[in-house]
Chains A and B, each alone.
Chain A
């Protein structure tokens, strides 16, 4: 298969990419190419120009900054999966990146491309939603930050403008909490049929002097629960009801099962399905994956 012909420009810097975008309206950015090239080959996209940002050094690298991670847009899935800093501060992100496609896909696909592409079957958007990440964007008006919750606007659509370039992603550290990503992989494509990301703390409640007077015992409870579900919905959904059913409750199998059952309400009825798994089927099994992800995160907390 051959893509329709296009003009090719290679940007050496973020500033140059911005100039090229302004000069070539409708141009597509090329990072790893593992979503764009298949689309070009199928002629589902036929831009007049492609701007290659794959060699821009300032978009590379993973570093810790203050209380979290700064992940450059060009960090590959393989780099994220292997990064000690990511494993320490956002284990679920390394776990999800390591489950994308296959090793060759992970060697070339980037986090920036994965997030900008906004495929509902992608893994990283769901994890970033649970971890409360922020996307940094360079546009004609300078640099700005967008919370992940406001970034994804629909199936393969984001709040990125025509001349915007995603430069990096900030992930607040979840160290001390347990995080996990559990996925129902499509058996052929390995994209997410259902993906669940959880971040969970285990702390104590009570034990202060008021509790002592009241004769209450110090109790171990779930804290700071953050749960996001993707794959079966147009954009990752934060599960407020599941989170509420976890917080302040003891970390027991009963709590996890009851909380997971609340996911159906959070997921709603705007469902995606295909010949392999209908939306209704996905919604019916999603709570199982929610429970597994909660259990995995709880096992890593503390």
Chain B
């Protein structure tokens, strides 16, 4: 059985007939040809596949493409405004919030979710907000610094 699916990815509508078992992450990587979204654990634990569905974070390895039918999905590729990086991307860069970069797309979108629900998180709240995202390189210290820095930039921009 194949079912029609229409998903707007970073503003671009993509329509495909897919098997219902197709995961959203594979829809994004194969059909939208956006490979920024990673598959790390494939068991819902590591968060490297995190994307935004209608603005809210979700693990795309634990979501079927059919569940996102009709939705707006934002991946790491959709965060920057043309050449201008998103505040979170700037901060991860400036604060060395990454080493190999594999967890980074998921980390940034999970951080996006955190700042959506809590504009000025404490370090403890940042750590809890990123509980579903695993990094094997950085030891998290610089990731926390990056998110703290981005929160400040966003707050300053809103003033």
List the interface of chain A (C-beta within 8 A of B): 1-8, 10, 30, 33-34, 37-38, 40-41, 50, 52, 54, 101-105, 107-108, 188-190
Binds A, one of B29-37, B38-46, B78-86: B38-46
CB <8 Å contact, B21 and A3: yes
Q: A104 is contacted by which of B3, B19, B42, B47 (Cβ under 8 Å)?
A: B47
Given A1-B42, A8-B66, A37-B64, A104:B20 Cβ within 8 A: no
14 A-B residue pairs with CB within 8 Å: A2-B23, A4-B21, A5-B1, A7-B20, A37-B44, A40-B21, A101-B132, A103-B129, A103-B132, A104-B47, A104-B110, A105-B132, A108-B59, A108-B62
CA distance A103 to B111 in the complex (A): 10
What are the residues of chain A within 8 A of B133 when measuring CB–CB?
A: 102
What are the residues of chain B within 8 A of A105 when measuring CB–CB?
A: 44, 59, 132
Given A4-B21, A102-B131, A34:B42 Cβ within 8 A: no
What are the residues of chain B within 8 A of A37 when measuring CB–CB?
A: 23, 44, 62-64
**Shortest distance from the beta carbon of A184 to any chain B beta carbon, whole Å:** 16
Residue among B3, B42, B131 having the largest count of chain A Cβ atoms under 10 Å:
B131
The A-contacting residues of B in range 106-159, CB under 8 angstroms, are 110, 113-114, 117, 129, 131-133
**Shortest distance from the beta carbon of B103 to any chain A beta carbon, whole Å:** 14
The A-contacting residues of B in range 60-88, CB under 8 angstroms, are 62-64, 66-67
CA distance A2 to B57 in the complex (A): 22
At the interface, yes or no: B98 with Cβ under 8 Å from chain A?
no
**Shortest distance from the beta carbon of B91 to any chain A beta carbon, whole Å:** 19
**Shortest distance from the beta carbon of A41 to any chain B beta carbon, whole Å:** 7
CB <8 Å contact, A2 and B21: yes
CB <8 Å contact, A103 and B110: yes
What are the residues of chain B within 8 A of A188 when measuring CB–CB?
A: 45
What are the residues of chain B within 8 A of A108 when measuring CB–CB?
A: 58-59, 62-63
CA distance A205 to B129 in the complex (A): 45
Chain B interface bracket (under 10, 10 to 19, 20 to 34, 35 or more)? 20 to 34
What are the residues of chain B within 8 A of A41 when measuring CB–CB?
A: 42-43
What are the residues of chain B within 8 A of A101 when measuring CB–CB?
A: 132
Closest to B59 in A: A104
Closest to A190 in B: B131
CB <8 Å contact, B132 and A104: yes
CA distance A234 to B45 in the complex (A): 24
What are the residues of chain A within 8 A of B62 when measuring CB–CB?
A: 33-34, 37-38, 108
Residue among A5, A34, A105 having the largest count of chain B Cβ atoms under 10 Å:
A105
CA distance A92 to B118 in the complex (A): 22
What are the residues of chain B within 8 A of A107 when measuring CB–CB?
A: 56-58, 113
**Shortest distance from the beta carbon of B133 to any chain A beta carbon, whole Å:** 8
Q: B66 is contacted by which of A34, A40, A52 (Cβ under 8 Å)?
A: A52
What are the residues of chain A within 8 A of B58 when measuring CB–CB?
A: 104, 107-108
**Shortest distance from the beta carbon of B4 to any chain A beta carbon, whole Å:** 11
At the interface, yes or no: B104 with Cβ under 8 Å from chain A?
no
What are the residues of chain B within 8 A of A40 when measuring CB–CB?
A: 21
CB <8 Å contact, B21 and A7: no
Closest to A188 in B: B45
What are the residues of chain A within 8 A of B89 when measuring CB–CB?
A: none
Closest to A108 in B: B58
**Shortest distance from the beta carbon of B32 to any chain A beta carbon, whole Å:** 18
CB <8 Å contact, B20 and A8: yes
What are the residues of chain A within 8 A of B19 when measuring CB–CB?
A: 5
**Shortest distance from the beta carbon of B47 to any chain A beta carbon, whole Å:** 7
